[in-house]
Each structure stands twice: as structure tokens, then as C-alpha cells.
Amino acid sequence: MIVRVTGSEQLALTVEHYMAAVSEELLSREIEVKAMRGCGPYHDGDYYFPDAEGEISVVAAGTGRSSCTLYWSGTSGWCCEFEADDSFNEEARWMCTGLLPPPGEVALSFDALINDSSGVGSEEAPTYRKAGGNLPELMELLKEYAPEGSDDLLPSQRLIAARQDMYVRRITDLLYRWDASPSRRP
């Protein structure tokens, strides 16, 4: 049974808002986001996780890989984990962009990794802070990514709205191109 550590729900919510902000940026760049999650410290039987983490699952179209997960560690920042289409082997690259880079920087680093995963980032995880250390300060830093009035707005709602915006842009673009095509003119 998973037991949340006191205060971890609020930390998890702020992590999820950061995941939502990055997801919004990815979707604005036409990178499809399948899911996202965030968590704070918890106990699961004998296992204790002392920090915060989050992840975003994206469609890795055109990369030759079946799936891709952007993983955020509260100690090491962002990592991109690829799974090859023909195997269960994962390839992980740490982006080395700092602990809490702005969403646009995460999207740019992700784009660079997709285009050349061997020449960007590192196989070794950087360490920006100690696991479990000064979680209230981390939560304050993460609050920057929660919009005003976010008490009434869940991160999942932000993801749904950003996804809808992406599909509306795609449909509008397709309709515009279809209407403007030479075969549609009288």
C-alpha cells in the first residue's frame, strides 16, 4: 500500500503543474503528449521515495522508436528515455539543462535529442540537489509553473485544453490548405 508523506500531495500537484506547462509547450510545437504525471515523497511497503519526480509520455513519430518518455527528477532535472521499435532496450539521455528549465528550453532540448540523440545531453545523470533535501524550497520554485487561480484548475485540465488547441490548429490548417488547393477553385 502506498502511503503519502505529509505535504507530498501539494508537492505532487506543483510537479504536475510543471509537467502540464512543459506539455503545453510540446503540444504547441505539434509534439503529441499521451500522458503526464507527477509525485512527491511516498512509502510503498519497505520502499521509500524521498523526493519529487514527474514524467511526460510523448508520441515519438518519425524517430524510429515506438515510445519516448520525458522524465523529470527533483535531483537531476530532465532525462529522455527512448524505447526502440525492435526491442525492449531503452536508451536514456540526460538533457543537462538545469533542475527547472523553462518549458521552451525543455522542448528545444527534446527536439535536439530526437534529431541527434548521440550528440546531445549525457548518459550520466547530473546532480543539482540532494534527494529529499529542502522540499519546501523546491515546491516554491515549482509554483512558478502553476497559473494564477490554479486551485481550481487541475494539471490534467491544462493538458486536455492544450491537446484540444493542437487538434484545432491541425484541422484549421488542413481545411485552409484544402480550401486553397487548385482543384477546389472554379
pLDDT, position 43: 82
- Provide the number of structural domains found in the chain: 1
Rounded mean pLDDT of 155-162? 85
> Does the pLDDT at position 62 exceed 50?
yes
CB 10 within 8 A of CB 17: no
Give the residue numbers spanning the domain of 135.
2-184
Q: For 84-115, how does the pLDDT look when each residue is reduced to its tens digit (9 = 90+)? A: 655 555 678 888 789 999 999 999 988 888 77
The CA distances from residue 107 to 26, 72, 173, in Å, are 6, 13, 22
